[in-house]
Amino acid sequence: MADKESQGSARQTAKELFAGSVGGIVQVLTGQPFDIVKVRLQTQPKENPVYKGMLDCVTKISKEEGFLAFYKGTLVPLIGIGACVSVQFGALAAAKRFLTNKENTPLSPVQLYLAGSTSGVANSVLSGPIEHVRTRLQVQTSTTGANSYKGPWDFVRKVYGTYGIAGIYKGQAITVLREFQGYGAYFLTYEWLVQETVRRLGKKSRKEVPVSLQCGYGAFAGYALWLTVYPIDSIKSKLQTDAFDLSKKAYKSALDCARITFKADGLAGFYRGFGACMLRAGPVNAATFVAYETTMNMIGR
């Protein structure tokens, strides 16, 4: 009996991981152009900024670097974010099962937040280095400079060879903080809305929730995530694109980065690229959740 339960649990986990991978691939393909604009605006200097705003950034990238520049650094996230989102949904489902009581009572908002935060922390093990690679490649405008990288593997080879695993995981502490809060808010929003819809409309299960509502709930979840963590994400981007050598670093720590940013630009310094991020948040996360739910319905929950 125990073996059958174990096999059933393993099959369920495999399904959740697979569906999460599909959602992750959809997320990257729909969101990468928005993300590169966000990162470029977040990390440009205050003195003599390269871009005047979001539209200027889009125009210049397209004109000077070509359309494919919007997909710089896509290979790593296409593989990696698929794995990340897979881990997110797998860890979320495992946490929800752990928190569910014998009576199968719907989880409370606090429990949903904790389940989401757990998935975020699990995800950070992969998302930290993957986003570091992507961010470095997104901000460079040439691959021929002394400190440039030809691609993700060239980056990993050079950075790991010089700075070891710590170099690959640069900015990891602030990444864990962002993932804990962000995915707590993200999955709390989506799961609570789905849970309430099932209860309010008298549905038998989440399979019966219309795709239109899944889209809307996914978009709301994306907004909830970024509204609560954008300043943290801005600090993360600055830290991950800062120099590796101690003598050349602009920031000593995340707190030092926050202090310097606030002193130089006020609160606005934490919200560069916010417009591009919020434009991305709705459609990208709507697509992610619809891809996940559709895949789970197709392969059997």
Q: What is the mean pLDDT of the chain?
A: 89
Helical ranges in the chain per DSSP H:
2-43, 54-65, 75-99, 109-139, 152-168, 172-200, 211-240, 254-265, 274-299
DSSP letters, 183-237, are HHHHHHHHHHHHHHHHHHTT-SSGGGS-HHHHHHHHHHHHHHHHHHHHHHHHHHH
Q: How far is CA 226 from CA 14, 65, 100, 178, in A?
A: 29, 28, 28, 10
Backbone φ and ψ for 201, nearest 5 degrees, come out as -90, 0
In 3-state terms, what secondary structure has residue 273?
coil
Q: Side chain identity at 123, as an amino acid letter? A: N
Locus of tokens 């992610």:
288
* Lookup: tokens for 71: 């997909």
Report which of 274, 183, 180, 181 is spatially closest to residue 230, judged by C-alpha positions: 274
* pLDDT tens track for 199-240: 888 877 888 999 999 999 999 999 999 999 999 999 999 999
Whole-prediction pTM value? Answer: 0.84
Q: Is the pLDDT of residue 24 over 60?
A: yes
* Band (39; pLDDT cuts 50, 70, 90): confident
Q: Find the range with the poorest average confidence among 79-88, 258-267, 291-300.
A: 79-88
Report which of 125, 113, 153 is spatially closest to residue 137, judged by C-alpha positions: 153
Q: How many Å is the Cα radius of gyration of the chain? A: 20
Q: Is the pLDDT of residue 144 over 80?
A: no
Region of 253 on the Ramachandran plot (φ > 0 left; ψ -120 to 50 alpha; else beta): beta
pLDDT of residue 137: 85
Report which of 9, 133, 26, 122 is spatially closest to residue 72, judged by C-alpha positions: 133
Say which residue, 9 or 279, is predicted with more confidence: 279
Per-residue pLDDT, averaged over 102-117, amounts to 91
Q: Is the pLDDT of residue 1 over 80?
A: no
Per-residue pLDDT, averaged over 165-179, amounts to 96
Highest mean pLDDT among 17-21, 55-59, 225-229: 225-229
